[in-house]
Chain A
């Protein structure tokens, strides 16, 4: 089934306006997006950016104002597009009258999974998300964290190829988050495609191959995580011993900007070659070099930068 190539999710010119007239909300501007098979894609954005809207359009829960979407080559408007799709909605609410296992079985059956298979899989999954003991209990008594884990389990119960997770770590404690991350990396190893919505940037950074940043309904940045966080001309150096004031002043002459904290130097240079000059200078002053690396931004920094640009651009 999994080919590893081709596009698992495709969004072409999709926009969404809720309601019409003055009271209408432009939740999504025309957006294009392709996500390859086996990729983990993270969609970042503030609350109200339109992340959920995009996922719901992909799942045909919300109808787009313009454009088309498809999953595994099938238009979202076809019921069958959802036959190999798992979805963990944000703020999901399970029917409380069922047990965890009963509910898993219900959703798996709706996805057309055969009886024997779904029994085995739901047992395995409940164990995997740490709910093995709670399987026979009514969902009524579950805590928020348990419901979130159960949500993840139901999204995977029919062994889908494509998985949409909308804020999966919302309301989950740090240990639970780590477990969810583990589940995600496990899924990636199996070659599943994952579409992850989150406003928690470090999460996304840790697991996603590619990231999109959605701001007020516009996809403002999209690319590989490593590319987005790479920052041109930023280096960090660790010296031994600490550079003295005069040395720092000399370095400042060579570079655009320098920040010193103890033995850590952060330099911003105009051309990549300029770093050699800095190294030579330090060495000539008898200061040893213990580490030299290209500095990366955290996703958070990238994100804030993008948002700032947008806000400035507007005003």
Chain B
């Protein structure tokens, strides 16, 4: 164990000498300062509700097809005027769950309400079909009018959709000339979970305040995803691979290795310590980046999400799979460039294989059989680095999002068999590292 710290210290000195650790710390500071520069301000409830209720007509949703997803926007042909927005009072006699919310009085027409029911139902059917096999749908007779109970239900579901989980829709009061008045109420007990409820400004107010169309909690999760998956999991791992790929080849240099091998340290432990040295390197970097951003985000948003800290571990996982490749290729070729390029290559190939395999029904539909087999083999043996982004997203969403937003994000993520994904990735790293150890152990230097 002592030997480990001696070797680790040496590796860290080496990376400090190359200025590479500095680059990574600088990158982290940029991310942390960016987080510190964000601020959120909640919108005035009346403005928010007015905006949301005037947009009930538009339905936006995401539909995924293969690797890509489309943002769809549908109009369901509903219009209503807002007569007034005010806090719910006990005299309103509304149910408990909206008792501390807001009352919104709407005026609309019967035909608009009929349109709403029709539009809403067909939207739901569309969602259930996942937009596939459109042509096979048999035409059904669509009624033109619906009873007031249907209006009520459709309006309640529409308002609840992506917006307010707690909604009360009062009885429709049919007036003259087709006109209908409806009293609705929504609970806004968790302001942070309501989409569009916050204005965001960036860079310490340099970039102006803008209403964001996600909820605050979703914005925080998105931010965490960018930090953990893009900054840490992509840029960070890439740079760390570049830095750490030199550890083994530089130790193996002619004239340098002899000095170490003549010491009472076994070759296999020596190589494994070097490997762990690389992991400690990413741990130091990851802790600094994630820890710093955690504090900054916590200060700016009030979300102190411990799951975000776990992403340091996820970062190390991803790096550990790839660094095994780098170490082994480093032993084999004694070249830093080779070690770096091959490990990045494996990363690229594994990510493509994972993506292609997951969407094989769409993307590989007309490919020859051998391509399908190749992709399947690659997918099975290579580490599944991209799944770790999914893992992070899942962790962050679980911790921070309200159930509605959580479900929405989960629908966008691929389904992952974690036992298989992590198991095969670990197996890959272990086999590759064992090969490296064997090679290092057997060679004459």
**In the assembled complex, A154 has its CB within 8 A of some CB on chain B:** yes
- Chain A residue numbers with a CB within 8 Å of B302 are none
**In the assembled complex, B409 has its CB within 8 A of some CB on chain A:** no
Check B444–A62 contact: CB distance below 8 A. Answer: yes
Check A18–B444 contact: CB distance below 8 A. Answer: yes
- Chain A residue numbers with a CB within 8 Å of B266 are 79
Check B6–A94 contact: CB distance below 8 A. Answer: no
Picked from A18, A61, A97, the residue with its CB within 8 Å of the CB of B13 is A97
Picked from B3, B6, B262, B263, the residue with its CB within 8 Å of the CB of A89 is B262
In the docked arrangement, what's the CA distance between A106 and B5, Å? 10
In the docked arrangement, what's the CA distance between A164 and B261, Å? 13
**In the assembled complex, A82 has its CB within 8 A of some CB on chain B:** yes
In the docked arrangement, what's the CA distance between A165 and B263, Å? 14
Of the listed stretches A108-116, A205-213, A264-272, chain B binds: A108-116
Interface of B is mostly: helix
**In the assembled complex, A141 has its CB within 8 A of some CB on chain B:** no
Interface size class of B (residues with CB under 8 A): 20 to 34
Check B6–A110 contact: CB distance below 8 A. Answer: yes
**In the assembled complex, B54 has its CB within 8 A of some CB on chain A:** no
- Chain B residue numbers with a CB within 8 Å of A233 are none
**In the assembled complex, A257 has its CB within 8 A of some CB on chain B:** no
In the docked arrangement, what's the CA distance between A89 and B263, Å? 12
Check A59–B262 contact: CB distance below 8 A. Answer: yes
Check B444–A87 contact: CB distance below 8 A. Answer: no
In the docked arrangement, what's the CA distance between A83 and B264, Å? 5
In the docked arrangement, what's the CA distance between A111 and B2, Å? 11
Check B264–A61 contact: CB distance below 8 A. Answer: no
> Interface readout for A162-191 with B: 1 if CB under 8 Å, 0 if not?
001000000000000000000000000000
Smallest Cβ-Cβ distance to A114: which chain B residue: B2
In the docked arrangement, what's the CA distance between A52 and B261, Å? 14
In the docked arrangement, what's the CA distance between A311 and B66, Å? 77
**In the assembled complex, A263 has its CB within 8 A of some CB on chain B:** no
- Chain B residue numbers with a CB within 8 Å of A95 are 10, 14, 250, 256
Check A92–B259 contact: CB distance below 8 A. Answer: yes
Check A110–B260 contact: CB distance below 8 A. Answer: yes
Check B262–A85 contact: CB distance below 8 A. Answer: yes
Question: Shortest Cβ distance from A64 into chain B, in angstroms?
Answer: 10
Check A82–B445 contact: CB distance below 8 A. Answer: no
Smallest Cβ-Cβ distance to B258: which chain A residue: A89
- Chain B residue numbers with a CB within 8 Å of A112 are 2, 264
Question: Which of A79, A85, A164 counts the most chain B CB atoms within 10 A?
Answer: A79
**In the assembled complex, B93 has its CB within 8 A of some CB on chain A:** no
- Chain B residue numbers with a CB within 8 Å of A290 are none
Check A93–B260 contact: CB distance below 8 A. Answer: no
**In the assembled complex, A2 has its CB within 8 A of some CB on chain B:** no
**In the assembled complex, A51 has its CB within 8 A of some CB on chain B:** no
Question: Which of A59, A95, A98, A164 counts the most chain B CB atoms within 10 A?
Answer: A95
**In the assembled complex, A91 has its CB within 8 A of some CB on chain B:** yes
Picked from A82, A96, A109, the residue with its CB within 8 Å of the CB of B262 is A82
In the docked arrangement, what's the CA distance between A223 and B213, Å? 90
Smallest Cβ-Cβ distance to A84: which chain B residue: B264
In the docked arrangement, what's the CA distance between A97 and B250, Å? 11
Picked from B2, B13, B250, B253, the residue with its CB within 8 Å of the CB of A109 is B2
Check B258–A62 contact: CB distance below 8 A. Answer: no
Question: Shortest Cβ distance from B19 into chain A, in angstroms?
Answer: 11
In the docked arrangement, what's the CA distance between A83 and B17, Å? 30
Check A93–B264 contact: CB distance below 8 A. Answer: no
- Chain A residue numbers with a CB within 8 Å of B6 are 106, 109-110
Check B3–A110 contact: CB distance below 8 A. Answer: yes
Smallest Cβ-Cβ distance to B270: which chain A residue: A110
**Could you count the A-B residue pairs with CB atoms below 8 Å apart for me: how many are there?**
84
In the docked arrangement, what's the CA distance between A59 and B444, Å? 11
Check B259–A102 contact: CB distance below 8 A. Answer: no
> Interface readout for B241-274 with A: 1 if CB under 8 Å, 0 if not?
0000000001001111111111111100000000
Question: Shortest Cβ distance from A291 into chain B, in angstroms?
Answer: 48
Check B262–A87 contact: CB distance below 8 A. Answer: yes
Question: Shortest Cβ distance from A157 into chain B, in angstroms?
Answer: 11
Smallest Cβ-Cβ distance to B256: which chain A residue: A93
Question: Shortest Cβ distance from A299 into chain B, in angstroms?
Answer: 27
Picked from A63, A89, A98, A111, the residue with its CB within 8 Å of the CB of B264 is A111
- Chain B residue numbers with a CB within 8 Å of A79 are 264-266
Question: Shortest Cβ distance from A90 into chain B, in angstroms?
Answer: 8
Question: Shortest Cβ distance from A55 into chain B, in angstroms?
Answer: 9
**In the assembled complex, A60 has its CB within 8 A of some CB on chain B:** yes
Question: Shortest Cβ distance from B148 into chain A, in angstroms?
Answer: 80
In the docked arrangement, what's the CA distance between A102 and B14, Å? 12
Taking CB atoms and an 8 Å cut-off, the chain A residues in 51-101 that contact chain B are 56, 59-63, 79-83, 85-87, 89, 91-98
Task: Decide yes or no: A93 and B445 within 8 Å by CB, A110-B3, A112-B264 being known contacts.
Answer: no
Smallest Cβ-Cβ distance to B442: which chain A residue: A63
Task: Decide yes or no: A98 and B262 within 8 Å by CB, A91-B254, A93-B255, A93-B256 being known contacts.
Answer: no
Smallest Cβ-Cβ distance to A97: which chain B residue: B17
Question: Which of B10, B254, B444 counts the most chain A CB atoms within 10 A?
Answer: B444
Check A102–B13 contact: CB distance below 8 A. Answer: yes
In the docked arrangement, what's the CA distance between A102 and B87, Å? 71
**In the assembled complex, A107 has its CB within 8 A of some CB on chain B:** yes
- Chain B residue numbers with a CB within 8 Å of A56 are 258, 444-445
Check B253–A61 contact: CB distance below 8 A. Answer: no
A-B pairs with beta carbons under 8 Å apart, 17 shown: A18-B444, A56-B258, A62-B445, A63-B444, A87-B262, A89-B258, A89-B262, A91-B254, A94-B256, A95-B10, A95-B250, A97-B16, A106-B9, A107-B263, A110-B264, A111-B263, A164-B262
Q: Sort A-B residue pairs by CB-CB distance and give the 3 closest, nearest first.
A: A97-B17, A93-B255, A87-B262
- Extra contacts, 13 of them, besides A59-B262, A82-B264, A106-B9 (Cβ < 8 A), are A60-B261, A79-B264, A82-B263, A89-B262, A92-B259, A93-B253, A97-B14, A98-B13, A107-B260, A109-B2, A110-B6, A111-B263, A154-B259
